Amino acid sequence: MGPPHSSAVQMAAVHSISKGFLGECGFRGGFMEVLNVGPEVLTELNKMAAVRLCPPVMGQVLLSAALSAPQPGEPSYDTYMQERGAVLQSLEARAELLWRELNRISGIDCQPIRGAMYGFPRMRIPERAVKAAQERGLEADEFFCWRLLERTGICVVPGSGFGQRRGSFHFRMTILPPMEALQRMVATISQFYTAFVHEFS
């Protein structure tokens, strides 16, 4: 941001090797940069870091490699840039596909997917389904997600786990499957959701 903000605004930036475009999912390694915070905050952060029994070595190795990308003039630079571009273009295309296709399902609305590997569509759930969920001790979106998994094998995460507004229902779905698989998954979700709404209407 430059002066005066760079020396006055408190900021924390966090990055994980498992959440970047390199897609090293399952590897745990990351970093945090904090700017313009007081010494008491740094003390607490150091305490949190110190309680770890051992570092995730493979995650640290991968993070180091990710932060040391090939530079112009190095032998692998052109290959790296081509692969990086292909990955980012593919993620963008899958995000666009998921957003577009979810919005074609009557009763489901999804915001454009920007800067994340997930869509978080909102869905309308009939009152009878809400009551059926309550009878089982579940939130309505959790009930929907369990039924979707049991009947189709598709695993999505209920929005109730993310602090959604009370009375609204969402699920979180990743854009990471290959394009063809993603298309099949959305088509299956559309069929399932239509049948689910019909069953509980």
pTM higher than 0.85: no
pLDDT tens for 154-171 read: 999 999 888 878 889 999
Distances (CA, A) of 144 to 6, 17, 115: 46, 31, 26
Place of tokens 């298309």: 183
Instruction: Tell me where in the chain the CATH 3.90.1150.10 domain(s) lie.
Output: 87-200
125 phi-psi bin (left φ>0, alpha ψ -120 to 50, beta other) = beta
**CATH number corresponding to 87-200:** 3.90.1150.10
pLDDT tens for 113-160 read: 987 889 999 999 999 999 999 999 999 999 999 999 999 999 999 998
Which among 107, 108, 88 is positioned nearest to 173, based on CA atoms?
108
